Amino acid sequence: MSRIARRRFDALVIGAGGGGLRAALQLSQAEAHVAVVSKVFPTRSHTVAAQGGINAALANVSPDNWHWHMYDTVKGSDYLGDQDAIEYMCRAAARLVVELEHFGVPFSRLDGGRIYQRAFGGQSQNYGGEQASRTCAAADRTGHAMLHALYQQNLKARTHFFDEYFVLDLVMDTDGYCLGAVAIEIETGEPLLIEAKATLLATGGAGRIYRTTTNAHINTGDGMAMALRAGIPLQDMEFVQFHPTGIAGIGILISEGVRGEGGYLINGSGERFMERYAPHAKDLASRDVVARAIYTEVEEGRGCGPKKDHILIKVDHLGEEVIKKRLPGIRELSRRFAGVDPIEGPIPVYPTAHYSMGGIPTNRFGQVVAPVQTGPEEPVPGLYAAGECACVSVHGANRLGGNSLLDIVVFGRAAGNHILEILKEYRYHRPTPNAAVDAVLERLRRWDRKGDGESVDVLRDEMQRLMEKHCGVFRTGKVMAEGIKKLEALARRLPDTVLRDHSRVFNTARIEALELENLMDVALATIHSAAARQESRGAHTRLDFPKRDDMQWLKHTLYNRDGRRLDYKPVRMKPLTVDPFPPKERVY
């Protein structure tokens, strides 16, 4: 084996967003020896950009309980969410949000001193009744406030951090155990083997498979691609959430909290068009519903601006005080990137790629689960996943706003707890086979090749355009089939690309190349899964199959990298303790 440095820990957490940090905290506080590896300094992780808030039925503003939250989440998922996991999440929500407050998160407050909660899309009282206000908020910077507080708590708990290390791949042995991972220290370019009895993937989403996205440049689906390369399938990758309101043309997020505070959408003739699409919930219908409505308005010629290519979100009627107090971050973004002060005028917006409902299949303990040959799924020993890179599945075919920040703390913590359990049994590290490490290092060596070849930028740009055109908000079999052909052709060009910088120290070009490999695997998973699903459900909208088809398609997709093979598995319709919510027509 190549002689590389190695370190040993009880647990390895890959990714330092909210999910990874919440898991690490659970482990550190229990005095497990835990390492967190992140390709950026932890507070630069993309959780920092979450705006609107985190859902929990605290009932501080409107009557509420976790059963209603659960109903809304199941309905929002278009019945594809696993109801055991959804029950677990919604029941845990209130306690974990209170815990975040105890960690120091500076939530906005109500007059009595309790946590401020705002209305958000898809929230109801009493199973589909009046609008609920369930989203706990720190102004419109909730993710920032949470990420910093979780990092601070980890500092206090003395969690060990490897900042600016990029993980190449998981190390698996022939028995299928995950033994840790190989990373490179970005500053020196040196590889490092980190051995661990348990490894948690918490690497976030893959919004960068699209050209216009709310996601940061770092959201390149690294953990998802690592899982694929380790022979683990990805679940439900066809379900990509397009956020209704990204700043037109550039995709920067304008929080759903803007509509929660009373903002609304208008088309080219000034009409409040959501009334036609969702008579009851209007602008606070589920995100898939609002995104389709905006897209339709523009397609049918009722857009705004000289090119009629976007619509507007009107906020000024809320008044200066509310905007400054509740939406200061949105005001800052809008002024900087749209050139509009929302106190004075409406913000131009358009749907933009935002969130991956699919991901690495896990159970509600965070254990990665995969079918064993042709048998039923079983946990992959030593491997966990949580947050956006995972698919528990609590979001099903469409995630509700405010449920992603909840997902990361609930399942980050759950994974931490389960790892603590298995650490009691695993007293020793399993031996790391040299071949497994060498296989990972080969991924790095491939990029040492010099000579002529295409550049990483060109391929990434083509991939993003392809995905936007062939696998966007509205999909058809024909367009996607064409997209698959083109994307597969593009993927075949990837092995011939070369780096134009072969230096070792802080070589960001090399990191971008490795990220492109990850993006390509995730893009292929997305479009292959999407082309196969012949129905419309949640965020997956087929013009050629406009109806949801529960007889054929009430099941999870599993995409395998080898041979692009698709399997399916049933949705877990049975909650833990309450009665199931059977599928019914989904109207807002």
Query: Mind telling me the catalytic residues?
Result: 287
| Range 206-245, binding other proteins (CB under 8 A) | 216-218
CB of 213 to other proteins, least distance (A): 10
Show the DSSP H helices in 327-476 as ranges: 328-333, 403-425, 434-445, 456-470
The gap between the terminal CA atoms of the chain, to the nearest Å, is 59
Identify the helix (H) or strand (E) that includes residue 518.
helix 508-532
Instruction: Write phi, then psi, for 378 (nearest 5 degrees).
Output: -140, 155
**How far, in Å, CA of 234 to CA of 51, rounded?**
27
Question: What distances in angstroms separate CA 399 from CA 151, 239, 446, one per listed residue?
Answer: 26, 9, 38
**How far, in Å, CA of 56 to CA of 396, rounded?**
19
Q: Which stretch binds other proteins (CB under 8 A): 228-236, 333-341, 355-363, 539-547?
A: 333-341
Helix (H, G, I), strand (E, B) or coil at 363: coil
Amino acid at 41: F
565 counts as binding other proteins under rule CB under 8 A:
no
Site string for other proteins, 271-310 (x = CB under 8 A): ----------------------------------------
184 counts as binding other proteins under rule CB under 8 A:
no
∠ CA 416-420-423 to the nearest 5 degrees?
135
Amino acid at 534: Q
Binding residue for other proteins, selected from 252, 298, 357, 360, defined by CB under 8 A:
252
Inter-residue contact 530 to 471 (CB < 8 Å): yes
CB of 101 to other proteins, least distance (A): 4
Using omega within 30 degrees of 0 as the cis cutoff, is the peptide bond preceding 28 cis?
Answer: no
Shorter beta-carbon distance to other proteins: residue 156 or 469: 156
Shorter beta-carbon distance to other proteins: residue 47 or 393: 47
40 counts as binding other proteins under rule CB under 8 A:
yes
CB of 388 to other proteins, least distance (A): 15
Tokens of 538: 């949640």
320 counts as binding other proteins under rule CB under 8 A:
no
What number of chain residues touch other proteins (CB under 8 A)?
A: 57
Instruction: Write phi, then psi, for 446 (nearest 5 degrees).
Output: -50, -35
Q: Which residues pair with 359 in a beta bridge?
A: 235
CB of 347 to other proteins, least distance (A): 14
Q: Which stretch binds other proteins (CB under 8 A): 109-117, 191-199, 382-390, 445-453?
A: 109-117
Residue-wise burial string across 168-184, b where 16 or more C-beta atoms lie within 10 A, e elsewhere: bbbbbbeebbbbbbbbb
452 counts as binding other proteins under rule CB under 8 A:
no
Specify the length of the chain in residues.
588
Q: Which stretch binds other proteins (CB under 8 A): 43-51, 82-90, 349-357, 469-477?
A: 43-51
Binding residue for other proteins, selected from 126, 434, 503, 534, defined by CB under 8 A:
503
Binding residue for other proteins, selected from 141, 287, 364, 528, defined by CB under 8 A:
141
- Count of helix runs (H) and strand runs (E) in the chain: 16, 22
Inter-residue contact 194 to 7 (CB < 8 Å): yes
507 counts as binding other proteins under rule CB under 8 A:
yes
Q: Which stretch binds other proteins (CB under 8 A): 81-89, 96-104, 124-132, 442-450?
A: 96-104
Shorter beta-carbon distance to other proteins: residue 118 or 561: 118
CB of 2 to other proteins, least distance (A): 21
Binding residue for other proteins, selected from 149, 248, 440, 571, defined by CB under 8 A:
149
Q: Which stretches of the chain bind other proteins, using CB under 8 A?
A: 40-41, 43-46, 48-49, 97-98, 101-104, 106-115, 138, 141, 144-145, 148-149, 152-153, 155-156, 187, 216-218, 252-253, 329, 332-333, 336-337, 455, 457, 499-501, 503-509
